């Protein structure tokens, strides 16, 4: 009766171990941790333990193998400088027969460099035209955990992920289409490479950011309104100043003007009531605005 009871306790303990290990259901060993994420050339340490009496257990691995031992219930796989990208260590145990449990190992490497550029374009960008930005990420692993994030200033514009399954470092390229307008004058674009390695990985996720792309933007003059009415008093100011790049030139036309004026502002107490047309022009185009001066009477 005692032997039957002992057997029940023994099987119950193994069953509980199996239920806790999930994928280790066929092999009565426990890995702690059950998955590791380690930087290339970094250190790693994982315990393999059992609750049962065995005939020997050990670790098989390209680096850090542990010879079989019969007198321990826990053995440790330990590597101080892990450099084998394809390493697949497993803990084995000899009981009724030999079984093994593989340890999932993710070795990562942050990029050597991250850079941003405009594809097939030099010089200033033009408002309203489409451009392709390119982010080059050099020597990163594993690429399937890489996310490239695009920023305009501090604003996240988009992000790219990758489906390739590679353990060793690769060079990767991501692209983004933009169509800048005058509100983007002076905007700084950048891209960021981030390795999202899961809960077992470093927190926060390791990342590297490109420098800022400070590309000049050209846009034509654009007035906020096409006409403006001014009631004449002692001093009249007509302000035609408009934002544009390259900087615009100005011309004025009116039957009341006797000479050519190139200033963006007319300020005089002698301007007569009537219409005054100002045209702002740069290399991308021109736009006019009409100032209507009315007398107080």
Q: How confident is the model over 270-276, as a mean pLDDT?
A: 89
| pLDDT, tens digit (0-9, with 9 covering 90-100), for 213-225 | 988 899 999 999 9
pLDDT band per the 50, 70, 90 thresholds, residue 270: confident
| pLDDT, tens digit (0-9, with 9 covering 90-100), for 5-51 | 333 223 333 333 333 333 445 899 999 999 999 999 999 999 999 99
Please enumerate in sequence order all residues whose Cβ is within 8 A of that of 183, keeping only pairs 6 or more positions apart, or say none. none
Task: Kindly tell me if the per-residue pLDDT of 144 is higher than 80.
Answer: yes
Distance CA 32, CA 260 (A): 86
| CA–CA distances in Å: residue 130 to residues 176, 282, 284 | 10, 21, 16
Q: pLDDT averaged over the chain?
A: 88
| pLDDT, tens digit (0-9, with 9 covering 90-100), for 60-105 | 999 999 999 998 999 999 999 999 999 999 999 998 889 999 999 9
State the CB neighbour count (10 A cutoff) for residue 270.
Answer: 6
Residue 4 or residue 110, greater confidence: 110
Q: How confident is the model over 259-273, as a mean pLDDT?
A: 87
Residue 3 or residue 272, greater confidence: 272
Q: How far is CA 24 from the centre of its chain?
A: 37
Strand bridging mode 217-218 / 125-126? parallel
pLDDT band per the 50, 70, 90 thresholds, residue 269: confident
pLDDT of residue 297: 62
Q: What is the 3-state secondary structure (H, E, C) of the chain?
A: CHHHHHHHHHHHHHHHHHHHHHHHCCCCCEEECCCEEEECCCCEEEEEECCCCCCEEEEECCCCCEEEECCCCEEEEEECCCCCCCCCCEEEEECCCEEEEECCEEEEECCCEEEEEECCCCCCEECCCCEEEEEEEEEEECHHHEEEEEEECCEEEEEEECCCCCCCCEEEEEEEEECCCHHHCCCCEEEEEEECCCCCCCCCCCEEECCCECCCEEECCCCCCCEEEEECCCCEEEECCCCCECCCEEEEECCCCCCCCCCCEEEECCCCCEEEEEEEEECCEEEEEEEEEECCC
pLDDT of residue 26: 82
| pLDDT, tens digit (0-9, with 9 covering 90-100), for 164-185 | 888 999 999 999 999 999 999 8
pLDDT of residue 6: 30
Give pTM, 2 decimals. Answer: 0.80
- Tell me if 205 sits within 8 A of 150, measured CB to CB: no
């Amino acid at each position: 009766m005692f032997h039957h009871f002992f057997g029940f306790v023994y099987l119950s303990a193994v069953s509980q171990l199996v239920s806790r290990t999930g994928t280790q259901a066929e092999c009565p060993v426990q890995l702690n941790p059950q998955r590791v994420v380690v930087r290339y050339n970094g250190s790693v340490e994982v315990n393999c333990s059992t609750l049962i009496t065995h005939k020997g257990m050990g670790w098989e691995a390209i680096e850090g193998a542990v010879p079989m031992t019969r007198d321990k219930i826990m053995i440790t796989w330990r590597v101080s400088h892990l450099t084998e990208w394809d390493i697949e260590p497993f803990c084995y145990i000899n009981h009724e027969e030999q079984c093994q449990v593989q340890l999932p190992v993710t070795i990562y490497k942050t990029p050597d460099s991250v850079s941003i550029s405009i594809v097939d374009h030099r010089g200033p960008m033009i408002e309203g035209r489409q451009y392709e930005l390119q982010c080059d990420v050099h020597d990163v692993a594993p690429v399937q955990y890489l996310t490239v994030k695009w920023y305009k200033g501090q604003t996240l514009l988009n992000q790219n992920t990758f489906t390739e399954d590679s353990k060793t470092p690769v060079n990767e390229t991501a692209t983004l289409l933009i169509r800048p307008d005058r509100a983007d004058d002076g905007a700084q674009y950048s891209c960021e490479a981030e390795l999202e390695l899961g809960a077992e990985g470093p927190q926060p996720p390791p990342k590297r950011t490109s420098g800022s792309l400070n590309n000049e933007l050209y846009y034509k003059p654009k007035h906020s309104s096409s006409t403006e009415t001014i009631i004449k008093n002692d001093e009249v100011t007509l302000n035609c100043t408009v934002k544009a790049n390259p900087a615009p030139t100005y011309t004025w036309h009116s039957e009341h003007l006797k000479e050519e004026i190139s200033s963006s502002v007319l300020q005089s107490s002698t301007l007569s009531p009537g219409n005054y047309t100002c045209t702002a022009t740069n290399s991308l185009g021109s736009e006019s605005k009409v100032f209507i001066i009315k007398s107080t009477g």
